[in-house]
Amino acid sequence: MIKKVYYFENPVRLSIRNQQLGILNLATQDEQTRDLDDAGFIIIDNPQIRFSVPVLQKCLEKNVTITICDHKHIPSGLFLPLDSHTLSGLRMRTQLEASKPLNKRLWQITVKYKILNQARVLNKFNKPSEYLIHASSKVRSADSSNIEATAAAYYWKKLFGELDEFKRDRYGASPNHYLNYIYSILRSQVAKCLVGSGLFPFKGIHHHNTYNAFCLADDIIEPFRPYGDAHIKKLIDENPDLNQVEDLPRWVRQSCLSILNVDVRLEGSTKPMQLAIQSVCARLAKCYDEVDPTSLCFPLYE
């Protein structure tokens, strides 16, 4: 089932009213309700928004993720249930006990799909992509030759070649802040689906950082990043002045949220992005259960 995103950017008070989400506008005192059964995410993008503990409890019950944004509108924190899968204890054990060879193969598959999707994005925008197609076939176990990095250098140079001295850097100049935002939306969905599949988001396949609570999400998001890149590229091509804007306009944020409902192709069938991510996370769990990496696959960009 496709879930909705409830995005709040004005001062409101959230509460539970008759088993539904009550939304009180603090400026007008108008109140309305929303059905939490329809929700997948609640995004909090204003420091004056208030919510009660029963809201948190009900969101846990309904498997609704709450995402908190910082002063730059970038999602910076997640509140999500950790027991949304009946086999979560067993799944977490198989994940934590996974062998190095299994994780190395899983990372090889992940990187290969990422590079293939980068190539397909370049092709979509009439950029040369043959180098990346060739590079994807050279990815070894654990990406021991670091093909991902060399492919990325080529990819960014070609994708945003018309922008002077563009460099992909989380803290870099535009359009990096747009990329950061859309990645954070995808990352939130990946983290939610990993937990929903009974996996432990803190234990990564490749990413390992003591201070990162979502290493596995940062692994699985990789083949999905090119979808975000294509979305931002299209926005900038259609709105050239956008690259001179340093903040995140409201309409851009709303546009980025729509990526969760973009149709993608996964093994011959078309489904919304949010459901495709769910399928990928379920496949990853199967890989750990069966100690076999061959179940893992990702959508290919079209």
Three-state secondary structure of 27-60: CCCCEEEECHHHEEEEEECCCCCEECHHHHHHHH
- DSSP β-ladder status, 39-44 and 50-51: unpaired
Instruction: Name the maximum alpha-carbon separation found in the chain.
Output: 60
- The domains of the chain, with CATH numbers, are 4-79 (3.100.10.20), 88-295 (1.20.120.920)
- List pLDDT tens digits, range 10-37: 999 999 999 999 999 999 999 999 999 9
User: Do the beta carbons of residue 154 and residue 131 sit within 8 Å?
Assistant: yes
Q: Is residue 106 very low, low, confident or very high in pLDDT (cuts 50, 70, 90)?
A: very high
Instruction: Give the separation between CA 5 and CA 66, rounded to whole angstroms.
Output: 10
Q: Is residue 84 very low, low, confident or very high in pLDDT (cuts 50, 70, 90)?
A: low
Strand partners, 164: none
Say which residue, 200 or 39, is predicted with more confidence: 39
Q: Is the pLDDT of residue 85 over 70?
A: no
Amino acid at 109: I
Calculate mean pLDDT across residues 45-59: 94
Burial environment of residue 17 by CB neighbours within 10 A (0 to 12, 13 to 18, 19 or more): middle
Query: Cβ neighbours of residue 150 under 8 Å, at least 6 residues apart?
Result: 135
Query: Cβ neighbours of residue 292 under 8 Å, at least 6 residues apart?
Result: none
Instruction: Give the separation between CA 289 and CA 270, rounded to whole angstroms.
Output: 26
Instruction: Give the separation between CA 31 and CA 293, rounded to whole angstroms.
Output: 50
- Other beta carbons within 10 angstroms of residue 22's beta carbon come to 18
CA neighbours within 13 Å on the CB side: how many for 149? 5
Q: What percent of the chain has pLDDT over 70?
A: 97
111 closest CA partner among 145, 130, 144, 136: 136
CA neighbours within 13 Å on the CB side: how many for 20? 11
Question: With a threshold of 0.95, does the pTM exceed it?
Answer: no
**Per-residue confidence (pLDDT) for residue 190, from 0 to 100:** 95
CA 184, distance to chain mean position in Å, is 6
**Per-residue confidence (pLDDT) for residue 131, from 0 to 100:** 97
Q: Is residue 210 very low, low, confident or very high in pLDDT (cuts 50, 70, 90)?
A: low
Instruction: Give the separation between CA 154 and CA 142, rounded to whole angstroms.
Output: 20
